[in-house]
């Protein structure tokens, strides 16, 4: 099962991806694909050293058109098994594994001023996810870039479902409505997690969500421990958020 974690910038996609990966790793082999071209700290929060970016494995970043033309070659380079791409067949320097056994693959990062857009990374993510050969007990969580760039590249097509994270902001709700539309049209599963809620913001957010017709599936409270552990540049620590997050196989409609 391949699940994208989407939403506005700063809502907590990366933090909840890490926590969800930990929860799911108790029963599944979990891989996290970092498809955000800007943020650098997912390996730190997951407690692993950064793997080599996958873009290097396929010959480095090229411009968008060239990357599109190279799709058959890239697919061939990645798909080492006849059934498709298997993470366990990629060279180990491209997959960092945490103590819990969570594998992290990083697509690539924009590092230099003027190096061009991030489209090639989204193309590569789509090739990777579209050709993945997963076992029943393997789950992939894709930590996406903020907003809708991934939708522009139709990444949703090659996933099974979308977790959309909202926080107590109207912009995050608006984006969630758009993502829901995409998920519904593609017949994909869709969940909404309201994150970082506390006090009055919880009732206000829920009222607004109801007003715009967005169903919130679960709510994760603001967790000071999580917030501070991020700021300390440490593997993510959480108590309240971890207790609140219910990404169980049952909630995700997947067989345990």
Ligand X SMILES: Nc1ncnc2c1ncn2[C@@H]1O[C@H](COP(=O)(O)OP(=O)(O)O)[C@@H](O)[C@H]1O
3 sits near ligand X (criterion: CB under 6 A): no
Binding residue for ligand X, selected from 28, 94, 121, 222, defined by CB under 6 A: 222
C-alpha Rg value of the chain to the nearest Å: 18
17 sits near Mg ion (criterion: CB under 5 A): no
For residue 226, the partner it binds in Mg ion, ligand X, none, with Cβ less than 5 to 8 A by kind, is ligand X
Contacts of residue 122, Cβ cutoff 8 Å, sequence gap at least 6: 35, 149, 150, 152, 153, 155
Residue that has been written with the tokens 């193309």 in this structure: 123
Residues between 135 and 164 that touch ligand X (CB under 6 A): 146
Smallest distance, ligand X to C-beta of residue 222, A: 4
Cα–Cα distance for residue pair 228/234, rounded to 1 Å: 9
Instruction: Give the number of C-alpha atoms closer than 13 A to the C-alpha of residue 156, restricted to the C-beta side.
Output: 25
Binding residue for Mg ion, selected from 1, 2, 3, 14, defined by CB under 5 A: 14
216 sits near ligand X (criterion: CB under 6 A): no
12 sits near ligand X (criterion: CB under 6 A): yes
CA 254 centroid distance within chain: 18
Pick the closer one to ligand X by CB: 145 or 160: 145
Pick the closer one to Mg ion by CB: 80 or 227: 227
Pick the closer one to ligand X by CB: 153 or 196: 196
Residues contributing to the site for Mg ion (CB under 5 A): 13-14, 39
């Amino acid at each position: 099962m391949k699940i994208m974690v989407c939403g506005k910038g700063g809502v907590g996609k990366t933090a909840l991806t890490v926590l969800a990966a930990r929860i799911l790793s108790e029963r599944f082999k979990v891989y996290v694909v970092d498809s955000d071209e800007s943020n650098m700290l997912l390996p730190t929060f997951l407690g692993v050293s950064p793997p080599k970016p996958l873009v290097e494995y396929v010959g480095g970043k090229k411009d968008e058109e060239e990357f599109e033309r190279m799709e058959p070659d890239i697919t061939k380079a990645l798909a080492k098994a006849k059934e498709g791409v298997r993470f366990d067949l990629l060279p180990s320097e491209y997959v960092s594994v945490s103590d819990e056994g969570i594998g992290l693959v990083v697509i690539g990062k924009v590092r230099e001023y003027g190096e061009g857009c991030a489209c090639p990374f989204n193309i590569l993510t789509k090739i990777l996810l579209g050709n993945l050969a997963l076992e029943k007990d393997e789950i992939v969580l894709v930590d996406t870039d903020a907003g809708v760039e991934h939708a522009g590249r139709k990444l949703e097509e090659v996933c099974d479902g979308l977790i959309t994270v909202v926080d107590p902001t109207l912009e995050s709700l608006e984006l969630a409505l758009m993502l829901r539309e995409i998920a519904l049209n593609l017949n994909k599963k869709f969940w909404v997690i309201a994150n970082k809620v506390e006090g009055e913001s919880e009732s206000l957010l829920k009222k607004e969500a109801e007003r715009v017709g967005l169903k919130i599936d679960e709510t994760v409270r603001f967790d000071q421990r999580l917030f501070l552990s991020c700021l300390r540049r440490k593997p993510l620590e959480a108590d309240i958020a971890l207790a609140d997050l219910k990404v169980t196989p049952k909630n995700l409609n997947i067989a345990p």
